[in-house]
């Protein structure tokens, strides 16, 4: 099939590459000329394991194309995926200006029946707005052309997006059109060879499903973090509690790992957007508000315990920070707990040596330049250089190289042998037996 993907960010590029991998002809469109030229030369705008190889392979095979012209792309297809950004507004609501701008351009260029698919995460009711925008353009052109607007939300985990797309848990498609159902059933057939994963539902149902899914996962994280705070105050090891409740099949182990808060491009934004949607219909979302508030507080876990151990004024102290990305397997620092931690350190006069296996270049762009210019924050070349003469290690992101480190090398480098484990990667008794002070989330025993 011939597809057009509008937007070459995380969702658009992964979707386009994976559809091409299954033999489809895919044109990826973006208004950023530099990005398009880079993609043609094999330089990707994001880090995602395995994606570069799929993009390069399918571009070389002639199945994956990159262009700045939506008109050129639309000339050869009638299935258009909208995968542009929906950044949060000041009130937390999703900003639809890019989605609706694409819809307007589609309406100005359409010449035959088309399926327009919202792949971006968009609020309930967006498909109606997209449809109205396209129809307004067709009316302006005095044309009567049939089209369907479909919601097909993505459920991709950064760091595992290729597997998630190629072997999905489910494919949610929101449409009432039998014509659209037939075409999309054919498009997704290669992803359903093992068993049927496609779930058809109403458009508004599909739009809500994405927000409900992410908010449910965020709720599990905030819940276990809430429990971890109680455990710290009551002399309980949260890891034993986690194993105890996770063994219950109704609860499970997924997303009940205590830590220093969630981040990224999805959970924070989607919880905030769903809160805003609720408030727009005069409903107070008590659970979601608590999920959001707990996460904001949890991102200050390090600063709370550093103050307890060292005092409120950290002037003269230096800390080694392992991990900057919001999770392993990505260079994404949006809403990352590391950003909150570094801001807290700077505000209390501390210095930090920071290291991340992938996200260093992103950190250089996203963190305030004055932090580096003042010498308060410095990059380290590797994880052990980040421990040179530091007063404590702060583990923020659970990258694999951090999970079983060289403790002897750490002892030689560190001024004070103290570990604050924001992801509970280490066994407290063993670490303490090796001469380190150890503080874990819900494990202050």
| pLDDT tens figures, 355-409 | 999 999 999 999 999 999 999 999 999 999 999 999 999 999 999 999 999 999 9
Instruction: State the Cα–Cα distance between residues 20 and 30, nearest whole angstrom.
Output: 17
Q: Is the pLDDT of residue 444 over 80?
A: no
Q: Is the dihedral of CA 156, 162, 164, 166 positive or negative?
A: positive
Please say whether the beta carbons of 38 and 182 come within 8 A: no
Q: What is the pLDDT, as a whole number, of residue 92?
A: 83
- Give the model confidence (pLDDT) of 117-135 as tens digits: 999 999 999 999 999 999 9
Mean pLDDT (whole number) for 222-236: 97
* Beta pairing class for 147-151 and 114-118: parallel
What average pLDDT is seen over the chain? Answer: 96
Q: Is the pLDDT of residue 240 over 80?
A: yes
Residue 407 exposure: Cα atoms within 13 Å on the Cβ side: 16
pLDDT-based confidence at 275, cuts 50/70/90?
Answer: very high
Mean pLDDT (whole number) for 49-76: 96
Q: What are the residues facing 173 on neighbouring strands?
A: 200
- Give the model confidence (pLDDT) of 241-251 as tens digits: 999 999 999 99
Q: What is the pLDDT, as a whole number, of residue 106?
A: 98
pTM above 0.85, yes or no: yes
Catalytic residue numbers, as ranges: 266
A 10 A CB-CB count for 11 gives: 24
Q: Is the pLDDT of residue 94 over 90?
A: no
Both structure tokens of 197:
């994963």
pLDDT-based confidence at 445, cuts 50/70/90?
Answer: low
51's CB contacts (< 8 A; 6+ apart) are 13, 14, 17, 44, 161, 162
Mean pLDDT (whole number) for 109-116: 97
Percent of the chain with pLDDT over 70: 100
pLDDT-based confidence at 90, cuts 50/70/90?
Answer: confident
Instruction: State the Cα–Cα distance between residues 55 and 195, nearest whole angstrom.
Output: 27
Instruction: State the Cα–Cα distance between residues 213 and 190, nearest whole angstrom.
Output: 24
Q: What is the pLDDT, as a whole number, of residue 159?
A: 92
Q: Is the pLDDT of residue 12 over 90?
A: yes
Q: What is the pLDDT, as a whole number, of residue 221?
A: 98
Q: What is the pLDDT, as a whole number, of residue 93?
A: 84
pLDDT-based confidence at 265, cuts 50/70/90?
Answer: confident
- Give the model confidence (pLDDT) of 141-187 as tens digits: 999 999 999 999 999 999 999 999 999 999 999 999 999 999 999 99
Q: CA torsion angle for 159, 162, 165, 169 (degrees, to 10)?
A: -60
Q: Is the pLDDT of residue 194 over 80?
A: no
- 83 CB burial (10 A radius; 0-12, 13-18, 19+): buried
- Give the model confidence (pLDDT) of 210-222 as tens digits: 999 999 999 999 9
Mean pLDDT (whole number) for 247-272: 95
Interhelix angle 33-40/51-61, rounded to 10 degrees, is: 80
Please say whether the beta carbons of 277 and 212 come within 8 A: no
Please say whether the beta carbons of 151 and 206 come within 8 A: yes
Q: What is the pLDDT, as a whole number, of residue 83?
A: 97
Q: What is the pLDDT, as a whole number, of residue 88?
A: 84
């Amino acid at each position: 099939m011939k597809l057009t993907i509008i937007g070459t960010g995380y969702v658009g590029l992964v979707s386009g590459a994976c559809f091409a991998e299954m033999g489809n002809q895919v044109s990826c469109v973006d208004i950023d000329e530099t990005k398009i030229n880079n993609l043609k030369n094999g330089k990707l705008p994001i880090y995602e394991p395995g994606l570069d190889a799929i993009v390069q392979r399918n571009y070389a095979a002639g199945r994956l194309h990159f262009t700045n012209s939506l008109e050129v792309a639309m000339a050869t297809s009638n299935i258009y995926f909208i995968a542009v950004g929906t950044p949060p507004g000041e009130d937390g609501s999703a900003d639809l200006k890019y989605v609706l701008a694409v819809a307007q351009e589609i309406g100005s260029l359409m010449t035959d029946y088309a399926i327009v698919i919202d792949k971006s995460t968009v609020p309930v009711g967006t498909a109606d707005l997209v449809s109205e925008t396209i129809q307004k353009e067709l009316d302006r052109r005095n044309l009567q052309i049939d089209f369907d607007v479909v919601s097909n939300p993505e459920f991709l985990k950064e760091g595992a997006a290729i597997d998630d797309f190629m072997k999905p848990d489910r494919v949610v498609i929101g449409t009432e059109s039998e014509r659209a159902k037939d075409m999309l059933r054919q498009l997704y057939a290669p992803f359903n060879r093992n068993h049927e994963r496609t779930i058809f539902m109403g458009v508004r149902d599909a739009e809500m499903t994405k927000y409900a899914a992410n908010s449910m996962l965020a709720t599990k994280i905030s819940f276990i973090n809430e429990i971890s705070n109680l455990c710290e105050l009551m002399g309980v090891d949260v890891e034993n509690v986690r194993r105890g409740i996770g063994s219950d099949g109704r609860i499970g182990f997924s997303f009940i790992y205590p830590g220093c808060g969630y981040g990224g491009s999805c959970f924070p934004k989607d919880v905030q957007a769903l809160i805003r949607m609720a408030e727009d219909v005069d409903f107070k979302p008590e659970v979601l508000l608590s999920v959001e508030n707990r996460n904001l507080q949890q991102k200050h876990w390090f600063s709370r315990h550093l103050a307890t151990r060292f005092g409120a004024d950290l002037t003269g102290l230096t800390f080694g920070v392992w991990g900057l990305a919001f999770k392993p397997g990505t260079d994404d620092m949006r809403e990352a707990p590391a950003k909150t931690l570094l801001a807290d350190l700077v505000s209390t006069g501390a210095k930090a040596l920071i290291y991340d296996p992938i996200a260093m270049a992103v950190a250089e762009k996203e963190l305030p330049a004055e932090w580096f210019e003042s010498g308060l924050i410095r990059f380290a070349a590797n994880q052990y250089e980040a421990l040179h003469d530091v007063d404590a290690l702060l583990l923020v992101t659970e990258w694999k190289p951090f999970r079983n480190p060289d403790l002897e090398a750490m002892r030689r480098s560190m001024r004070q042998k103290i570990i604050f484990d924001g992801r509970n990667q280490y066994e407290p008794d063993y670490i303490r037996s090796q001469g380190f002070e150890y503080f874990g989330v819900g494990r202050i025993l």
